[in-house]
Amino acid sequence: MNRGSPMSARNFARRRAAVMAVVGRARFRPVAERVEAYAPANIALCKYWGKRDAALNLPTNGSVSVSLATHGTITEVRPASGDEFCLNGAPLAPDSPAGLRLKEYLDLFRSAECPAFAVKTENTIPTAAGLASSASAYAALARALDALFGWNLSPRRLSILARLGSGSAARSAADGFVEWRRGQRADGMDSFAVRWPVEWPKLRIGLMLVTSEPKAVGSREGMRHTVETSPLYAAWPAAAERDLRTLRAAARVRDFTRLGEIAEANAMAMHATMIAARPALRYWRPATLAVLDRVAELRAAGVEVYATLDAGPNVKLLFQAADEASVRFAFPELLVVNPFGTYKIPSLTSF
Ligand code: PMV
């Protein structure tokens, strides 16, 4: 599978131009010695799958997710003379894949006044759960850089900065239901996240660990491989846009059945495009299927629960508070999240 080439000078220039368009005339001069920021992870109900521009992470289709409240990433940034990265209490090698990606992102923000950064990151999702994501990491980092340089950017602008680190990070710029608009512009200035004006206190998301083994193919690479080789991909963009419209209507009237059915169907359709890729990209493990079977059994027994999956074997469940006890009984290890509850923003000292 093609791993992609290092960033070309042209793509770097386009990414840097996107940052400049976001921050305007603002300076890259630190206004603090240390800043800390938090962003939640998110679970997509209509998935981002395919890019119309890989350098700017512009999506082929719009998507929508639900943010995971206290489950996300806390990031501390300090100006430094050389880069230093620390992830979950251990040094992150600058030449590891995650280190290189972080360095490449920080390259967009360096200046004579701040040539390098010390970045310390903690995921509040248990790392062993295999559910920690680049979405919360890049959204938290974008917020931290905003604080470091004293820019005070709007959530919309912050979501554009986060998107340059990881597409799905655009949606971690807000809580609740967050739509990431596809946009039409080549510079991506109309491709940002917008929070839906919907509160749904009874909605629950369950995170079901199937395996904590690191996945063999990351979502970036899996997406590219699927778009390039899957004969089923052609049907995806229009189907996803339709699902997004239906989800918007379902959320507006809090129609849980419609929301759950569409979210589950959307995830299955995304995996169908992957399975048809050549060679096939199959993230499901036997335990993934066992969870999906159990979900179907619960539904047949009258417990309304739906499943969604991202580029990995772990399953995320959607249900409502009234069914929480039954769902927990069926999945005793489930981590249950209340996305619309009020919460205290996690910090490094409280974590
Ligand atoms: O942000 P990325 O490049 O890791 O892509 C994430 C893609 C999916 O998680 C599979 C779907 C989504 O919309 O989150």
Report helix, strand or coil for 69: strand
pLDDT(2) > 50: no
* 63 CB near ligand 1 (under 6 Å): yes
- Please identify, by atom number, the ligand 1 atom nearest to the C-alpha of residue 167: 1
User: Residue 128's pLDDT is what?
Assistant: 56
In testing the pocket of ligand 1, which one of 45, 219, 220, 236 has its CB within 8 Å of the most ligand atoms?
219
Report helix, strand or coil for 43: strand
User: CA end-to-end span of the chain, whole Å?
Assistant: 39
Band (130; pLDDT cuts 50, 70, 90): low
Q: pLDDT digits over 44-99, tens only?
A: 999 999 999 999 999 999 999 999 999 999 999 999 999 999 999 999 999 999 99
- Please identify, by atom number, the ligand 1 atom nearest to the C-alpha of residue 311: 10
* 134 CB near ligand 1 (under 6 Å): yes
* 244 CB near ligand 1 (under 6 Å): no
pLDDT(350) > 90: no
Distances (CA, A) of 135 to 73, 78, 322, 342: 9, 21, 30, 21
Average pLDDT, the chain: 95
CA 268, CA 311: separation in Å to the nearest integer?
A: 11
* 264 CB near ligand 1 (under 6 Å): no
Cα 25 to averaged position of ligand 1 atoms, centre (Å): 31
Structural tokens at position 177: 């239901």
User: Residue 347's pLDDT is what?
Assistant: 93
* 172 CB near ligand 1 (under 6 Å): no
Written in H, E and C, the secondary structure of 171-202 is HHHCCCEEEECCCCCCCCCCCCEEECCCCCCC
Residues 331 and 206 sit within 8 Å (Cβ to Cβ)? yes
When pLDDT is averaged across residues 300-323 and rounded to a whole number, the result is 97
When pLDDT is averaged across residues 132-155 and rounded to a whole number, the result is 95
User: Residue 3's pLDDT is what?
Assistant: 43
Q: pLDDT digits over 156-193, tens only?
A: 999 999 999 999 999 999 999 999 999 999 999 999 99
- Residues written for the chain: 351
Partnered with residue 24 across adjacent β-strands are: none
